[in-house]
């Protein structure tokens, strides 16, 4: 059975993004082995001074870390390993301040690792997760599909670039304007469910 890694940051009570994700899970849980990572309950470690230097020394400098040092990186390494071992990723989160929530960025900082999920070659950078596919489920309060907000959607370009950097082909189902078009939010979720079905059918 193919594996699916679900990365969720949907902490709000009655979260609309969670409704989309729950539908994905209900619709597919018999077809794939799901690993669920709840970034609203446990955040990856930030790359503060100690973590950053251990990571750089190990992954870029080839330094062999002691067990104790390795242990400091263990949580983030576990998250990266989950990504290396999966066939599919579903990442669900709302837009926060024109971008992704901080815990989601911390997850990318944990899993984008030189020598593991990407590497340097003579011809440039190569992603090492070539057989993995990703689906992003995102909502926002305002309508980021039109100006003046369209050009300041830093979430979607980041997410697509970060997945592609690791060799992962990614697509997004975005439902923008949940607050702006509050009267249409139910319809938007219903539309998202149809789109989720379509993507799921191509995956499993
Ligand atoms: C901390 C925070 C920051 C937000 N930043 C934005 C933003 O930059 N643009 C926007 O359109 N909506 C923003 N919103 C609104 C949410 O993206 C929107 O309500 C979303 O649909 C919430 O998803 P949920 O129902 O899954 O919680 C923000 C909400 C919060 C709580």
The pLDDT assigned to 35 comes to: 98
Residue linked to tokens 């950078």? 125
Label residue 81 by pLDDT band (50, 70, 90): very high
Q: Would you kindly state where each structural domain of the chain is located, as residue ranges?
A: 3-203
Q: How far apart are CA 18 and CA 110, in angstroms?
A: 23
What integer is the mean pLDDT of 81-98? Answer: 98
Q: How far apart (Å, rounded) are the C-alpha atoms in residues 183 and 60? A: 51
Chain segment 138-185, per-residue pLDDT in tens: 999 999 999 999 999 999 999 999 999 999 999 999 999 999 999 999
* Span from the CA of 1 to the centroid of ligand 1 (angstroms): 35
187/41 Cα distance (integer angstroms): 29
Q: Is 175 helix (H, G, I), strand (E, B) or coil?
A: strand
Residue of 141, 150, 179, 186 with the most ligand 1 atoms within 8 Å of its CB, for mutation: 141
State the pLDDT confidence band at 33, using cuts at 50, 70 and 90: very high
For residue 106, what pLDDT band results from cuts at 50, 70 and 90? very high
In the structure, what pLDDT confidence band is assigned to residue 82 with cuts at 50, 70 and 90? very high
CB contact at 8 A, 90 and 24: yes
Q: pLDDT at position 87, please?
A: 98
Q: How far apart are CA 7 and CA 4, in angstroms?
A: 10
CATH number given to 3-203:
3.40.50.360
Check residue 95 and give its pLDDT: 98
User: Counting atoms of ligand 1 from 1, which one is nearest the CA of 140?
Assistant: 17
């Amino acid at each position: 059975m193919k594996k699916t890694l679900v990365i969720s940051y949907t902490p709000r009570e009655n979260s609309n993004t969670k409704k989309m994700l729950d539908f994905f899970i209900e619709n597919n849980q018999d077809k794939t082995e799901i690993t669920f990572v709840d970034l609203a309950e446990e955040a990856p470690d930030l790359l503060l001074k100690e973590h950053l230097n251990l990571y750089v020394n190990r992954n870029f400098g080839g330094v062999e870390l002691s067990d104790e040092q390795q242990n400091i990186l263990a949580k983030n390494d576990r998250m990266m390993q989950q990504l290396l071992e999966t066939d599919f990723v579903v990442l669900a989160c709302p837009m926060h301040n024109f971008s992704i929530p901080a815990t989601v960025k911390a997850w990318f900082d944990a899993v984008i690792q030189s020598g593991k999920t990407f590497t340097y070659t003579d011809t440039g950078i190569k992603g090492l997760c070539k057989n993995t596919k990703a689906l992003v489920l995102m909502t926002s309060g305002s309508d980021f599909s039109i100006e003046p907000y369209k050009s300041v959607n830093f979430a979607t370009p980041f997410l697509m670039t970060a997945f592609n950097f690791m060799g992962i082909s990614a697509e997004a189902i975005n439902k923008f304007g949940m607050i702006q078009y509050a009267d249409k939010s139910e319809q938007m979720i219903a539309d998202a469910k149809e789109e989720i079905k379509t993507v799921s059918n191509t995956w499993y």
